Chains A and B, each alone.
Chain A
Amino acid sequence: MNRLSNIYHKDDGAALLPSREWWVERWLELLDSYRFKKRLERARVYARQGNVLSIDFQGQKVFARVQGTEIEPYQVSIWLESFTDEEWQYVIETMSQKAIFSAKLLAGEMPTNIEQVFTGNGLSLFPFRLDDVRSQCSCPDQANPCKHIGAVYYLLADRFSEDPFVLFQLRGRTKEQIIEALRQMRSRGSIERGNKGETPILQPQYSLKIDHFWQYDEPLESSLVVIVPPPSNETVLDVLGNIPLANDATKNPESNTVSAKAVMQYLDTVYKAVSQQAIISAMKVGE
C-alpha cells in the first residue's frame, strides 16, 4: 500500500495510489480463476450495462437485484462461510498481539497484513476458490455462477474498494464488533481496571457571567494577524490519499466514469484556488 504516507519521500501527484487496493486485486484474481471465460465476459457486460439494480449488505449476506431477460429482476444472494465465535476469538487474540491492527482499524485503514492473522489461525478472510463463495439466483439458469451472480461479483470488487470492512462483515463481524472485541481482549490482561475510586473534577463549562456579559477585549491573536499559506504544499488531501472510488473493475477504458485521480486533481485545484483567494482577501481587511 502506498498512501503518500511517507513524510520523507513525498510522492508527486502522478504517483497517487496504485489503481487498486490489494484486497480488490485479490477478489479480481479470484474471478479470473474461473474456467468459463465466456460466461464471465457476459457477466462483466451485464455489470457494465447497469443490469445490477441494487446491492445490499444485510448482515453477513449480500442481496442484489439483477435485471435479466424477464420483467421482474432476479434476486441474487451471495454469502461466505461465517467464522464461528470460537474462530473469531482466535483471530481477535492474534490481532491483539500487535497494536498495529487496532491502530489501523481505528484510523479507518485496512491493515496490510491482515490476511496473515487469519491464515495464522488456519482461516482465510478471502475465499481461496470461487467455489467457496456461496450464491443463489432466482433465474432459471442452473449454472452457478450464472451471469447475474457473476455481474454482482464484479461489482463487489468496487464495494470492497469503497469499504474494505464489508469483508469482515461477510465473515460474521462488523468493524465495530472487532474493535469492541479487541478492547475486551485487552482488558483481560489489564492490571488495573476502571477507576480507583477517583472521580473526575467537573470543570465549570462556560458559565454565563452576567457582569461580563458584553466583555471581549482580546486583541486579535497574533497568529491571525498575517495570514499566510501553509508552510508545506501538502494538504489534508495528501494525508488521506485518493478517495477510494470504485473505478475499473468492470469498466473499459472509454467509460465516462471519472477516475479517482481526476477527482483528486479537481479537488486540488479547488483547494489551491480557495487558499489563494483567502490570502488575498485577508490582506484587504480594513481597506
Chain B
Amino acid sequence: MAILHGSWLVQSQGGYLFIWGETWRRIAAGASFQSGTVPPHPLAMNPADLIAYLKSLPHLSQVLPDDAFLPDEGSSSSGKTVTRQGRKTKVASSDRTPSSRRWQLQTLALPSHIDEGNNEPISPWHSGTALSESTGEDTSSWQYLYPWQVEGICLNSLEAIAFLTALPLGSVNGSDSFLGRDLRFWSHIARWSIDLLARCKFLPVLNKSEDGNAIARWQPLIDSAADRDRLQKFAQQMPAACRTYQGLGEKFSDPSIDLPLEPKKLLLQFLSNTIDAQVRNVASTQSPPATESVVGEWLKGLGSESGMITAEAQAAERLQATLNSWIAPVQPFLTGQSLFCTCFKVHPPRQGETDWTLEYCLQAVDDPEFLVDAATIWNNAVEHLVFQGRNIELPQETFLRGLGLAARLMPVIEPSLETPSPQSCRLNPLQAYEFIKTGSWRFQDSGLGVVLPPSLANRDGWASRLGLSIKADTPQIKKNERLGLQSLLNFKWELSIGGQRLSKKEFDRLVALKTPLAEINGEWVELRSQDIKAAQAFFVSRKDEVALSLEDALRLGSGDTQTIEKLPVVSFEASGALQELITTLTGNKKVEAIAVPASFQGQLRPYQALGAGWLAFLERWSLGACLADDMGLGKTVQLIAFLLYLQEQNTLEKPTLIVCPTSVLGNWEREVKKFGPTLKVLVHHGDKRAKGKVFAKAIEDKDLIITSYALAFRDAKDLQSISWQGVVLDEAQNIKNPETKQSQALRQLSSTFRIALTGTPVENRLQELWSILDFLNPGYLGQRNFFQRRFGIPIEKYGDTNSLKTLRSLVQPFILRRLKSDREIIQDLPEKQEMTVFCGLVEEQAALYQKLVEESLAEIEESDGIQRRGMILALLVKLKQICNHPAQFLKEATVGDRHRSGKLQRLEEMLEELILEGDSLRNGFAERALIFTQFAEWGKLLKPHLEKQLGREVLFLYGSTTKNQREEMIDRFQNDPQGPRIMILSLKAGGVGLNLTRANHVFHFDRWWNPAVENQATDRVFRIGQTRNVQVHKFVCNGTLEEKIHDLIESKKALAEQVVGAGEHWLTELDTDQLRNLLLLDRSAVIDEEAE
C-alpha cells in the first residue's frame, strides 16, 4: 500500500502540480546522514515504485501523460523521444529547464521527530500516523519541521486538472485510502475551478510578462458571495502539507526552512493557472473574427498555447489600458483579496407606509453579520478605519465603488446617490419584490452583499411559504390490533404562511391584494402564485380525500420535506401516541431499557437492556429494526432478552424464525439454551429436517426456529406457509443483494415483526442499507432505482453530505448502531472480553474425525503405559488438526476454495466484519487482529488463504522467522498506518517478548487447553500502551472433544484448573470409556454440507 501526495507549486510563470508517493518501510538504523545536504525522505517511493504503483491504479494512470512513466535520467544529455497525445516529439532532457522536467526532486519540510538515542537521529512522521494514535507520546516531540527530498512527477495545469478530477470525490475511506489528504484537498479545489468555469466566472485580460512580452490570459473572477466564502474557507482548511514545499531539491543545501506560503495566494495561483489553461483549451477550438489589428492578435492569443502576442509594444499597452478600463468595475475581484464589500439591507415598510427601504452599509466578507452602517463610514474619511476590532482599508472608497457597481446593475438606486453621503434609498413594492426575487441574487453574484428580512431570506426553504400545517394523531385501535407503516392517521390541516395559521377568509383577502409580498402579523412573506393556485385547488376539490399514513408522518417528523397535493407541508405536529413514537424514533426521547426478564440467565449489560428495549419499542409499532452494534457487543444476547421479554408479556404467541449463516447455527442454539432456557428452540437443518406438514407440526409448540440462509431459500415453500411472529436475519449483510433468490425468498415471509442483525457499518454501504431496510420496512426508502438516483449516486460519487444527512435522518429511526469505542459502552465493557465462538464441523471433517476416533480407540485400548499415553496425545493432535481444517490433517498444499472447515468459515466472516468496521472509522483506529495457532503448518496454509480471501496482506510469525523479519513484522504491525491488520502467530513463537498493543482482537483458532499459555499469548496485546478494550475470541468446534473439554472447564472451573492446569496430560490418564465419551462425535452438530 502507498499514499499519493502532492500540491500545487508556484512558479514565477505558471506553476505545476507535483505528485509523489509515500510508502512504509522500516528505517534501517545507521543509514548515512550527511550534514549540509537535504536527506532523501526515507518513506518516499522511488520513481520505479511510484510508476508501478500508478500503473496499478488504472483510472489515474490513464489520465497521466505517457512520459510520466519514464523517469528522467537526471543530468543525462541524450535526447529521447516521447509520445504524447499521439504525436512524437523530441524531448531533449538537457534542453528542458529543471522546472519543466517531468520528474523532479523537491524539498519538502515535514513534521519530524528527533530520537537522540538512535543512530538515525531524525526521521519524518508517516502522513497516516494520526497524532491520537502515536501512543500518547508527548506532542512536543513533534514540533520539528525538517526538510526532506522527495522525487515525483510534475503536471502542467491541464494535466493537473485531468489528474485531480479523476480522483474519487467521495468521503474518506478509512486508513487504507491511497489518496493523501493534501491531494484530496486539491481535488476539491479542482472541482471548484470547474464550477467557476460552468458559471462563467472568468475574464480575458492582457498581461505583461517579465521579459516585456504581452500575454493574453484568462483570469478567474472571485466576485460572488459563494466564491469569496469558498476562498476564505478553503484557505483556512488547506492542510499545512500543501504549504511547505521548499523548491527544487538539487539547489537546496542548507537545511533551513522557508516560511510557509500564504494559502490564499496559493489557491489563487492554482485557480489562475488552471482556469487560464482550461478556457484557453476551449478557445483554441473556436475561430475569432479575422483581423490584423492588435485586438485580433489578442483574441488569437487567448486561444493559443503561449498566449504570446506579436504586436507593437505601444499598441499592446493601449489595448491593455482599454481592457483595464473595461474591467475596472470588477477589478477588485480579480485579486480576490477584498475583505469588505458594499452591502444592501432590505427593510420592510414602516407602519402605514408602502415603500421599502434599501439601506447601504459595508459587510465583512468572512462574516455576513459584521456590518458597518453608512453613517459610520461617512464620518470616517480615512485610509484605515478600525471598527470593532477590524481594520477596514479605504472604507469610503470601498463603499462608493460598490455603490457605483450597484447603480450599474440597478439604476433605480442612482437618484439616491445624488446627495453627498447617501445612506439608503426607497423602493416601491414592485421594485422591492423584483429586488428580492432577482436583484439580490444578481448583486451577490457580482460581489455585493445583501441582507434580507429573515422571513424572506431563505428562498429555497419551506418555512415561510404558503402551505399546510398539519396536526395528526393515531387512530383508535381495537385490542390486539396493530399499527403499521401504512396505517392511516387521524389528522387536521390548516393553511399557514410564515408560521401563521390562515383561515379561508384571510387567505381570500390575501389573494385579493394581488401583491407578491404580504405582511402577516408583522412578518413579510412571499406569496408565490403557484402556491396560491395549489391552495385554491386544494380548497375546491379533494381536501376530504387526502390521506396521511404513519409512514408519511415519519418522513415529516424526520424533517424530510413533503408536499401534499402540491402544497408544501410547512409544519407538522403530532400528538398523543404518535408524538411519543416520533420523538422516540427521531432520537429526541430515549427508549426505555427493559427490565431484565426473570427467565434470562446470565448478565445483561445496561446497553444490552437498552437495545432489547429498543427492539421492543419498534415491535410495538410493527416497525422493522436493524440492530447493527459492533462485533462483540452481544447482539445475540439482546435478541434473546427481547424474546424473553415478549414471553414475559405473554405476547410471544407464534414461533419466530431466525435465519443465520450455517457457520453460526450451533452458536445460536448454544446461546439460546444458555441465556434463555425457557425458549423452546428447534434447529431446522440437516438432511433429517422436517418438511411439509411434519414441519408445521414440529414447530407448533416452539418459540424459536433457527435455520440457515441456504435453507431459507430451499425450504421457502414450507417457511412461507407459516405465519411467523417474527423473522430475524442474523448477519443480515447476506441479503445485501436484493436480487438473489435467498433475498427474494426471505421477503416473502409473513410475520408481525422483522429484525435484522448485522455488525457491518450498514449506513456506509448504501445498496446493503437499502436492501436491509427494504426487507424490514418494505417501500420505505422507495424503489431501488429511485434510491440509487436520489442517494446512491450523489453520496457515493460526490460525497454529498446533504443527501447523506437526509438519508441518515430517514433511516436513523430503524437502525441502532453502537460502537465499542462509544463512551457509554466502554463503561459497560470489561477491558478484556472473552468470548467463545462455537463452530460446526462440515461433513468431510466429521467423517475424518469419526473414522480416526474409532480406529485410534481400538488401538489405544490394546496398549498401555507410555505407549498408550503417546498414542492418546498423538490422537488429540490429529483431532485438533481435523477441527482446524482437513487440509491440515491431510497435509495438503493449499486450503482450496471449497468450505471444508466450519472454523475457517467463521473466522473469515469475522475478519471481514472487523475489517469493514475498521474501514468505516475515520480516526485511524483501524481494527487489528492477532490469530494464534499452535500449529506452524496451519499458519502456513492459513496465511495465503486469508490473503486471497480478504484481498490484503497478512503477516505470519513463527519459530523459523528470523530475528530481522520478526522485528520488521512487528514494526510494520505496530507503526505502519497502512500496514497489515492481521497477524498470525504460532503460539510458541508468539508467546514471548512481543509487544503487539495495536491489536484489539485476539483469535485462538485452536486450543491448548492451558489457560496460562493462552493468557500469556493474549497478553501480547495487553502490554503498556494498550488504550482500547480487547476482545478475545476462542474457537471451539461443536460436538467434538473441543466442546466437551470447554464445557468441562467452564462447569468445574476450580476443579478443572487443578486438573487441566498442567496442560493436556490429564487426558492421557483417562480410561478408554472416559476417553470414548470425550472424543465421540455428536453428529447433530455437524453442518450438513449437502444442504448448502
Residue positions of A touching B, CB distance < 8 A:
3, 5-8, 54, 96-100, 102-109, 159, 162-165, 179, 183-184, 186-187, 189-195, 198-201, 205-206, 208-232, 234-237, 239-240, 243-246, 256-258, 262-263, 266-267, 269-271, 273-275, 277-279, 281-282, 284-286
In Å, the complex CA distance between A155 and B731 comes to 85
Would you list 30 pairs from A and B whose C-beta atoms are within 8 A, ordered by A residue?
Answer: A8-B410, A98-B419, A99-B417, A104-B407, A107-B405, A109-B408, A187-B381, A190-B379, A190-B380, A201-B389, A201-B390, A213-B110, A213-B125, A214-B180, A214-B240, A220-B800, A223-B195, A225-B800, A227-B191, A229-B199, A230-B200, A237-B200, A240-B329, A257-B295, A258-B289, A274-B283, A275-B197, A277-B197, A285-B169, A285-B797
Most buried by A among B111, B295, B378, B800: B295
In Å, the complex CA distance between A216 and B239 comes to 6
Closest A residue to B233 by beta carbon equals A221
Closest B residue to A262 by beta carbon equals B289
Given contacts A183-B381, A235-B200, A267-B204, 5 further A-B contacts (CB under 8 A): A200-B386, A208-B243, A239-B330, A257-B295, A286-B798
Minimal beta-carbon separation of A281 from chain B (angstroms): 6
- Interface pair B171/A274, CB less than 8 Å apart: no
- Interface pair A106/B171, CB less than 8 Å apart: no
Minimal beta-carbon separation of A85 from chain B (angstroms): 20
Minimal beta-carbon separation of B763 from chain A (angstroms): 15
- Interface pair B188/A224, CB less than 8 Å apart: yes
Contact of B401 among A106, A232, A243, A281 (CB under 8 A): A106
- Interface pair B198/A275, CB less than 8 Å apart: yes
Contact of B236 among A100, A206, A225, A236 (CB under 8 A): A206
In Å, the complex CA distance between A234 and B439 comes to 13
In Å, the complex CA distance between A201 and B142 comes to 30
Contact with A along B347-391 (1 / 0, CB 8 A): 000000000000000000000000000000011111011110111
State which of B316-324, B524-532, B611-619, B861-869 sits at the interface with chain A.
Answer: B316-324
Closest A residue to B283 by beta carbon equals A270
- Asked whether B328 is an interface residue with its Cβ less than 8 Å from the other chain, the reply is yes
Q: Which residues of A contact B670 (CB under 8 A)?
A: none
Q: Which residues of B contact A244 (CB under 8 A)?
A: 322, 325-326
Residues 121 to 163 of chain B near chain A (Cβ within 8 Å): 125, 127-128, 131, 139, 142-143, 145
Minimal beta-carbon separation of B921 from chain A (angstroms): 12
Closest B residue to A113 by beta carbon equals B418
- Interface pair A98/B239, CB less than 8 Å apart: no
If A213-B110, A236-B221, A270-B279 touch, whether A190 touches B381 (CB-CB below 8 Å) is yes
- Interface pair B226/A281, CB less than 8 Å apart: no
- Interface pair A100/B194, CB less than 8 Å apart: no
- Asked whether B779 is an interface residue with its Cβ less than 8 Å from the other chain, the reply is no
If A7-B410, A216-B181, A286-B797 touch, whether A103 touches B417 (CB-CB below 8 Å) is yes
Contact with A along B793-812 (1 / 0, CB 8 A): 01001111111100000000
Q: Which residues of A contact B390 (CB under 8 A)?
A: 200-201
- Asked whether B291 is an interface residue with its Cβ less than 8 Å from the other chain, the reply is yes
Interface of chain A, main secondary structure: loop
Q: Which residues of B contact A281 (CB under 8 A)?
A: 165, 194
If A97-B420, A183-B381, A267-B204 touch, whether A256 touches B291 (CB-CB below 8 Å) is yes
- Asked whether B263 is an interface residue with its Cβ less than 8 Å from the other chain, the reply is yes
Q: Which residues of B contact A275 (CB under 8 A)?
A: 197-200
Q: Which residues of B contact A284 (CB under 8 A)?
A: 165
- Interface pair A266/B288, CB less than 8 Å apart: yes
In Å, the complex CA distance between A205 and B169 comes to 28
Minimal beta-carbon separation of B438 from chain A (angstroms): 7
Q: Which residues of A contact B379 (CB under 8 A)?
A: 190-192
- Interface pair A274/B197, CB less than 8 Å apart: yes
- Interface pair B441/A215, CB less than 8 Å apart: no
In Å, the complex CA distance between A283 and B615 comes to 42
In Å, the complex CA distance between A228 and B195 comes to 8
- Asked whether B565 is an interface residue with its Cβ less than 8 Å from the other chain, the reply is no
Contact of A240 among B237, B330, B414 (CB under 8 A): B330
- Interface pair B198/A279, CB less than 8 Å apart: yes
Q: Which residues of B contact A229 (CB under 8 A)?
A: 198-199
Contact of A103 among B387, B404, B794 (CB under 8 A): B404
In Å, the complex CA distance between A226 and B800 comes to 9
In Å, the complex CA distance between A205 and B265 comes to 13
- Interface pair A218/B199, CB less than 8 Å apart: no
- Asked whether B260 is an interface residue with its Cβ less than 8 Å from the other chain, the reply is yes
Contact of B798 among A214, A226, A236 (CB under 8 A): A226
Q: Which residues of A contact B182 (CB under 8 A)?
A: 214, 216
- Asked whether B545 is an interface residue with its Cβ less than 8 Å from the other chain, the reply is no
- Interface pair A256/B403, CB less than 8 Å apart: no
In Å, the complex CA distance between A64 and B83 comes to 53
- Interface pair B111/A100, CB less than 8 Å apart: no
Minimal beta-carbon separation of A65 from chain B (angstroms): 11
Contact with A along B401-429 (1 / 0, CB 8 A): 10111011111001001111110000000
- Interface pair B237/A257, CB less than 8 Å apart: no
Minimal beta-carbon separation of B459 from chain A (angstroms): 11
Q: Which residues of B contact A214 (CB under 8 A)?
A: 127-128, 180-182, 239-241
Q: Which residues of B contact A7 (CB under 8 A)?
A: 409-410, 434, 438-439, 442
- Interface pair A209/B240, CB less than 8 Å apart: yes
Q: Which residues of A contact B797 (CB under 8 A)?
A: 285-286
Minimal beta-carbon separation of B551 from chain A (angstroms): 27
Q: Which residues of B contact A285 (CB under 8 A)?
A: 165, 169, 191, 797-798
- Interface pair B314/A219, CB less than 8 Å apart: no
If A236-B221, A275-B197 touch, whether A109 touches B404 (CB-CB below 8 Å) is yes
Contact of B386 among A107, A163, A199 (CB under 8 A): A199
In Å, the complex CA distance between A256 and B291 comes to 6
- Asked whether B781 is an interface residue with its Cβ less than 8 Å from the other chain, the reply is no
Q: Which residues of B contact A98 (CB under 8 A)?
A: 417-420
- Asked whether B760 is an interface residue with its Cβ less than 8 Å from the other chain, the reply is no
- Interface pair B380/A273, CB less than 8 Å apart: no
- Interface pair B283/A186, CB less than 8 Å apart: no
- Asked whether B1059 is an interface residue with its Cβ less than 8 Å from the other chain, the reply is no
- Interface pair A208/B329, CB less than 8 Å apart: no
Q: Which residues of A contact B194 (CB under 8 A)?
A: 227, 278, 281-282
Minimal beta-carbon separation of A159 from chain B (angstroms): 8
Minimal beta-carbon separation of B147 from chain A (angstroms): 14
Closest B residue to A195 by beta carbon equals B386
- Asked whether B235 is an interface residue with its Cβ less than 8 Å from the other chain, the reply is yes
Minimal beta-carbon separation of B59 from chain A (angstroms): 8
Across the A-B interface, the 6 shortest Cβ-Cβ residue pairs: A108-B328, A107-B404, A187-B381, A103-B404, A278-B197, A100-B417
Minimal beta-carbon separation of B764 from chain A (angstroms): 13
If A210-B142, A220-B188, A258-B289 touch, whether A6 touches B411 (CB-CB below 8 Å) is yes
In Å, the complex CA distance between A210 and B414 comes to 52
Q: Which residues of A contact B166 (CB under 8 A)?
A: 286
